[in-house]
Chains A and B, each alone.
Chain A
Amino acid sequence: MESMILQLSYLIGSITFIMGLKMLSHPDTARKGNLLAAGGMTLAILATIFLYRGENNEPLHNYIWIFAALAIGTVVGTIASKKVQMTAMPEMVSLFNGMGGACAMLISIVEYRHIMENVATHPVQAGTMTVVVLGMLIGTVSFAGSMIAWGKLNGSIKDRTIPGGQAINFLLFAGLITLVIIVVGGFMPDMPALFYGILILGALYGILFVMPIGGADMPVVISLLNSFTGVAAAFGGFLYDNPVMLTGGILVGSAGTILTILMCKAMNRSLKNVLIGSFGGAKAGAAAGNKDQGAFKEISLNDTATLMAYAQKVIIIPGYGLAVAQAQHTCHELEKVLNDKGVEVLYGIHPVAGRMPGHMNVLLAEADVPYEKLLEMEDANDQMGGTNVVLILGANDVVNPAAKEDPASPIYGMPILEVEKADHVIINKRSMKPGYAGIENELFFRPKSSMLFGDAKKVLQSLIAELKQM
């Protein structure tokens, strides 16, 4: 009876995950979908605690420990995610992803010890060993990689290109495969050190694989690590013959992979390219080949305000600078002021603007910008021709014409927002420093472009003040 209820709970859990993901893909049902999945998860967890039966039909024990750990995790997790700023969301997701990876890693370590202790009575099963070893390896890579991604996004770890990084990664990878074969195949059963060798090499691989990856690729990496953790969780499902872990893990694994590929497509780069980390290397080359690009011109606040007030249509292109300055609300205010003056205001959202896909949408949604005003890249480009003023707020690489014109550029081929089709391009930046990907942007030196320096929020506030006086 208990086992039936347990299996039924797992079935319901799996269904809520599928339905939840499905509902997450529509704006109207997204929130309900998330809550539904959370409900299914709670059910599956509680059912496991009370109804799971081990080998000799033995219920679980150590309840105090389990509930203490659940309580700590719930309190810390809730507080951390309630407090985090909207701008810091990507690194938070990366951090939680790392926690999941570490969890999978720890499970495998304990299970490995368990297998080794009982090796006399229970001969090692190749299937079980494969699952334990791969679950640990993928969990470890995901954990180490996510921690580096987290550190890079919050600025505590700098981009670093390791000389011969590709060769090292390749050697590590080859070493890992060899070790996995030796351990799984049971060729050296008396050497548990090999198992921990996989752990160490895996962690190293995770670190080295994320380390050289430049900022523009960070969303792709987080998405990829996300699907890694999904696969690690699925190995847990194999280990415990647990259907809900299997469906949950694989769903995330495949969904995450598709999301990763979609993001790669948006940047016109192959996943292989991202994985080998060649972006970091190419970046250094491009920076060295800097050519003199001439002068840029500045525009005053007053002129900007006049230009916008007498425009018919304005497209705002937000980027990470907007997020850093926390200027989303001010931006929405500017939109309203312009609307009152009869100016049509739209937003052009590049799929990889910011630090995560959809980052800008979340940010602008926070400021109550209507959903219909957010144009996807193709629609925005179609509308660019009839636009009088394009205001770029802290975006850089997503409007860089080098992506279209310069085959030597590392971002060559990436679709961009074609802002030069509009009459005027006003670029707000804090300084002339290149963007997160470290590439010079020729757009700033083009005849149609004018620079408006300053912190996005302060500039927007002054702009609103100017406009209100007109």
Chain B
Amino acid sequence: MDAIINLFTDSATYRLMTIVILSIFLGIEVISRVPSVLHTPLMSGANAIHGVVIIGAIIVMGQAHTDDYLALTLGFLAVILGTLNVVGGFVVTDRMLEMFSKKKKK
């Protein structure tokens, strides 16, 4: 119970919640003006952005004890998967958008 009370008296909780609420509105605001032509690249771009989870993987990996092989292995996998998400996501999006910009030049 104390743990739960701590959660609500901790100022960090409120600071983070503020970011959450603002980000929610920002996300809605940004997306609702997208023409449907760009839905696929947008989904793909957003897909790449949530690859930011890789930062967590890097922290896990970097803090694992050098003799904790399970943590090392899981962390290693997590960093690979996160990188795939980020790199793959951005490259795929760029490929889609390349086609849009190519004809703009003509």
Using a CB–CB cutoff of 8 Å, the interface residues on chain A facing chain B are 13, 17-18, 20-22, 24-28, 30-31, 33-35, 37-38, 41, 44-45, 48-49, 52, 54, 58-63, 65-66, 68-70, 72-74, 76-78, 80-82, 84, 89-90, 92-93, 95-97, 99-100, 102-104, 106-107, 109-111, 113-114, 123-127, 186, 222-223, 226, 229-230, 232-234, 236-259, 262-263, 349, 351, 356-359, 361-362, 365-366, 368-371, 374, 376
Using a CB–CB cutoff of 8 Å, the interface residues on chain B facing chain A are 3-4, 6-7, 10, 12-13, 16, 19-20, 23-28, 30-64, 66, 70-72, 74-104, 106
Alpha-carbon distance A78/B33, docked complex (angstroms) = 30
Verify B60–A27 contact, CB threshold 8 A.
no
The one of A63, A93, A258 that contacts B32, using a Cβ cutoff of 8 Å: A258
Instruction: With both chains docked as a complex, state the minimum distance between the C-beta of A24 and any C-beta of chain B, in angstroms.
Output: 5
Alpha-carbon distance A71/B81, docked complex (angstroms) = 11
A-B pairs, 8 with minimum CB distance: A73-B83, A60-B62, A254-B27, A77-B87, A357-B39, A69-B79, A248-B52, A358-B39
Instruction: With both chains docked as a complex, state the minimum distance between the C-beta of A361 and any C-beta of chain B, in angstroms.
Output: 4
Instruction: With both chains docked as a complex, state the minimum distance between the C-beta of A84 and any C-beta of chain B, in angstroms.
Output: 7
Query: Cβ of B96: which chain A residues have Cβ within 8 Å of it?
Result: 89, 362
Question: What is the interface of chain A mostly: helix, strand, loop, or mixed?
Answer: helix
The one of A102, A262, A362 that contacts B81, using a Cβ cutoff of 8 Å: A102
Verify B52–A70 contact, CB threshold 8 A.
no
Verify B71–A113 contact, CB threshold 8 A.
yes
Verify B103–A358 contact, CB threshold 8 A.
no
Alpha-carbon distance A109/B93, docked complex (angstroms) = 30
The one of B72, B100, B106 that contacts A27, using a Cβ cutoff of 8 Å: B100
A-B Cβ contacts below 8 A, count: 387
Question: What is the interface of chain B mostly: helix, strand, loop, or mixed?
Answer: helix
Verify A255–B88 contact, CB threshold 8 A.
no
Verify B28–A254 contact, CB threshold 8 A.
yes
Query: Cβ of B42: which chain A residues have Cβ within 8 Å of it?
Result: 21, 24-25, 255, 259, 358
CB within 8 Å for A110 and B34 given contacts A30-B41, A254-B27, A365-B103: no
Instruction: With both chains docked as a complex, state the minimum distance between the C-beta of B59 and any C-beta of chain A, in angstroms.
Output: 6
Enumerate 17 A-B pairs (CB-CB under 8 Å) in ascending A order. A34-B97, A38-B94, A59-B62, A62-B62, A65-B72, A66-B62, A78-B88, A89-B44, A100-B81, A107-B56, A110-B78, A236-B55, A240-B55, A244-B52, A245-B53, A249-B52, A255-B46
Query: Cβ of A257: which chain B residues have Cβ within 8 Å of it?
Result: 27
The one of A90, A111, A356 that contacts B60, using a Cβ cutoff of 8 Å: A111
